[in-house]
Structure 1
């Protein structure tokens, strides 16, 4: 078991843990919760011995294998599967033992090495690694692709798969869902429920924590408190404990007031001096209870829109994508005033592409997008830096915005407004590039509120928000009078805000008739159907090959003719797909060249601050476009592969 006893941990002048004591039993699944900056990641570093306690004892069983998600981006030409396999420390040790024995010609050692390999599950290790990759959203064509070919978000998924591959006794997961879509999140949730070791997880996803954890550790004001139960149970128990503590404090205050009143009244009287002195000593011995000083909850609200056009916008035969590549086509939807629309779909299917097109960040490739008169769009980008300037502070952002969307505001008015979003003092001039993810997200929310939009387009707004800020966002969205279109893997937010869903899949946008539970069941059934289709196609191909091998020469000539015709038909079917792949290859080459040029410019350090900001924004936009095109390339390749398999060729 894990034991912390009277632990004190400091980071600089800040006390992260103050006299913390807790015991965690083997096999427990624990959620570690607390506000951003409370010190949750520092506690992980303490358990892995990257940090050491200033006082007290930390005990983790020495023989335990430990796994956590590395935060650095890997740079290697190794395949995705091989990279994930390296996370199995037991298998890697067995391989090293066998290789050493073989190099030394040690027969006994070779035998031991083979036994160790068998015990480590070497025979199915590759299949297990690829199953992890597929569960986290990688396609069949990606599992052997080099790590360097993936973008940042996908590399973090590789790091997560590598951690899951380890046969760990203790697994530490710090916000594992940030780079996942809803499909992969549901899969990870099921995997962690089956995990038999001790799990300590930091997450701001309420439903994720409720589904997995049975113990909650709350880190607040340097105090670590253990609660039995998941996050919802923790909230109820903490509220009850705070009420009890406050009641005891108030009762003690009444007792103190009563004693003090007696002392003040009788301390000068000789006949009562002894009793008064006795009460003075009682006051001195009393262990004073502190009042419940709950941190102020973060709350905000969207301003009333100037107008509410109805319909907000109309999409007719709209196609979205990049360059010559169409990601989503034939969109025919109408968005009305007051609608709450959740947009569902796997990564790479085009959710963000659709939102960016509606947000005027990129033009539609075809069709007509008609906006209602007075439409005012507020856009929260998945990557906050799409709408922020890294070299400027929050106050500079608000000053520029105030000039653009409303009459000039006084600096003090803007400072007061930023204070509502926890930007106070010198923080209003701190460069955005140095802010945390949660602080950047709050700044984007502040800018949205100032604009008084009537249509909110939110693309993964909760990625860096803590639970309190997520709840504040949910409340603000529910009170917002305009229309909301929301892309999120936070199921609690989707359930609380959205009353209808659109599904982006297979290049189409269609209404999804059901709730999130229906969507999760649909995902499971879709995966089963795909597996059955592949299995059936493989069986048919094997039977056709067997029949061909036993046919007569005349029949074989006919079969060859039929096969040639089938190949011609296949080429005709796949020609548009292959043509689109060729177009994507050309665009990727061009974009890669532009990215290298931009990186080279930034590396010189000779650019002016404004030029650096502009180049940084363009570099981010190019990276996003490359990610989308790569996903489309993979989708097209899979379609060609599926058509070929189905044809038995």
Structure 2
């Protein structure tokens, strides 16, 4: 018999500013279930997750949480002001029985020391601290809204592994397609205020969504034709049978009301790229370039040729120098050593990841037109700014909206709209996928694929790189960059591993210089971190506790009349015994592994 759900939302409705945001949403999460919540930007996903977390009260509907179940919610904008350090903030989420060492472990894995003061944190560091705060107690239910934001590729892949190892039930919101495919077992689609559920992972979502929308349009078309037929019958049919006429008239009015209230699928972004004259065959040539800041070397002796039509992806951990490398390749920054040669007839458009080039005081229309008139010229064709705004899902009334009040996703769409209206033959995209919904991502991928010019892009989105890049330039550490043919999956096949986290020495000092080539090099050995040491110290006691629990359960099951007298208790005891024996086996294997490692390292 399936376990009852830990969390249930039924008939949830919420209205903001007179417009229904959520009309009839439902959500049910069973123990250990991993579900993703998907939908367009602005569809209400984050709001529904806050309702599930108990942070927002709905106008209608019921929320039920199993008594005693613990919930942790990943806040988009965490408040750390009341804490002295990130460690204190993460430890504040731990319960009496939780492992205090887990707080330090999570902070270390997310690139934080625990000593950071909240006032000095960047937005990304605050989000990573909030992620550690949510994961530290291993709750019954995890509600994670964009957990991969501000994480680089090594951290994203670590997070996937960490979440897979937890027994917590999860509801995930993310624009990272690969992240959702790897983790989700069920998909909840929030569309036009309603939820639909598919008991399969995100990998099957798009085919299911398209089938649902196709059937919906077919049903709507049938209703439209029936409406026309009923209207003709009323105009020209026999009128003697009065009661039947009245009934059919009532049916017609009901169908007209249904037709008026039908909310079609939300529109899609229409991207048209203004391309300029063709560039020369050679776009960029780097000859043994190097770049350092202080004692940190970001690029060392790199030689590279980018030809017309190439789609070069640049990947590496945070701090590896990806943005610096883009600036070198495009001539914005001069190398310390070596030479950069740019090709002929280049017209470059750059989309920066921070949207810094947007004037927060300008309106949406002014941003697109440059403050000149009310038209936009795209590929030699003049278009009214309102029509161009609609192509990127902006409502006409947003024409006078200041940039400062737009959401992150809207700002990204505005940056795309402005950039794509300018003639170019070289696109430079630094994290273009931030805050874009999946449908807009699909169209951006198609646009890049069809673009006749050259593309240089930085991204932490593995699926996006697989779909767009013809080759990847990967950071190997210490300023070394190597090029691999294909996308991210192809790179892993050739390289044997994904992108590794950058090693940061204490006080951000450079690591010691390598020994002379003539000196023998000892093979690298794994070291015991504080988590290993903690496990080695505590596992014997934990194994003893598990063995004692097993003995108690076995004593209960030794009663030969138990099944006949109380079959439900017998079933629970059997399940508990299986779980305990699995835990015992895993704990013993871990303890043996650590003992062998300790012996290898000389005690």
Q: Same fold (TM over 0.5)?
A: yes
CA distance in 1, matches of 2:203, 2:498: 31
CA distance in 2, matches of 1:73, 1:380: 30
CA distance in 2, matches of 1:361, 1:435: 29
Among 357, 360, 363, which residue is 1:393 paired with? 363
CA contact (8 A) 1:215 1:226 kept: yes
Return 5+ residue gaps in structure 2 as ranges: 525-600
CA distance in 2, matches of 1:498, 1:399: 31
TM-fit CA distance, 1:134: 4.1
CA contact (8 A) 1:218 1:225 kept: yes
CA contact (8 A) 1:301 1:480 kept: no
TM-fit CA distance, 1:527: 9.4
Per-residue deviation, residues 253-296 of structure 1 (Å, max 9, x unmatched): 4445445444433434x4x5566556446656879765672221
CA distance in 2, matches of 1:20, 1:494: 34
Q: Please name the residue that 1:208 is paired with.
A: 179
SS in 1 for 2:512: helix
Q: Please name the residue that 1:129 is paired with.
A: 103
TM-fit CA distance, 1:217: 1.4
Among 303, 313, 328, which residue is 2:284 paired with? 313
CA distance in 2, matches of 1:347, 1:522: 22
1:34 and 2:4 are equivalent in the alignment: no
CA distance in 2, matches of 1:369, 1:340: 19
Per-residue deviation, residues 501-538 of structure 1 (Å, max 9, x unmatched): 1112321121125642354578885899x9xxxxxxxx
SS in 2 for 1:445: helix
SS in 1 for 2:282: coil
Return 5+ residue gaps in structure 1 as ranges: 95-118, 531-629
Per-residue deviation, residues 384-413 of structure 1 (Å, max 9, x unmatched): 12x22222223333444989x999x99974
Q: Please name the residue that 1:86 is paired with.
A: 92
Matches of residues 266-305 of structure 1 in structure 2 within 5 Å? 266-268=237-239, 270=240, 276=245, 279-280=248-249, 283=252, 290=259, 293-305=264-276
CA distance in 1, matches of 2:294, 2:141: 47
Matches of residues 424-435 of structure 1 in structure 2 within 5 Å? 424-435=395-406
Per-residue deviation, residues 50-89 of structure 1 (Å, max 9, x unmatched): 221212211122422111223235358855545433332x
Q: Please name the residue that 1:466 is paired with.
A: 437
CA contact (8 A) 2:187 2:197 kept: yes
Q: Please name the residue that 2:78 is paired with.
A: 72
Question: CA 1:248–1:36 in structure 2 vs 1: closer, same or farther (change >3 Å)?
Answer: closer
Question: CA 1:325–1:637 in structure 2 vs 1: closer, same or farther (change >3 Å)?
Answer: closer
CA distance in 2, matches of 1:342, 1:40: 31
CA distance in 1, matches of 2:256, 2:421: 48
CA distance in 2, matches of 1:525, 1:430: 46
CA contact (8 A) 2:430 2:459 kept: yes
Per-residue deviation, residues 522-563 of structure 1 (Å, max 9, x unmatched): 8885899x9xxxxxxxxxxxxxxxxxxxxxxxxxxxxxxxxx
CA distance in 1, matches of 2:394, 2:440: 14
CA contact (8 A) 1:303 1:452 kept: yes
Question: CA 1:480–1:54 in structure 2 vs 1: closer, same or farther (change >3 Å)?
Answer: same
TM-fit CA distance, 1:190: 1.9
SS in 2 for 1:154: helix
Larger CA deviation: 185-194 vs 65-74 = 65-74
Larger CA deviation: 203-212 vs 243-252 = 243-252
TM-score of the pair, normalised by structure 2: 0.75
CA contact (8 A) 1:252 1:289 kept: no
SS in 1 for 2:287: strand
Q: Please name the residue that 1:510 is paired with.
A: 482
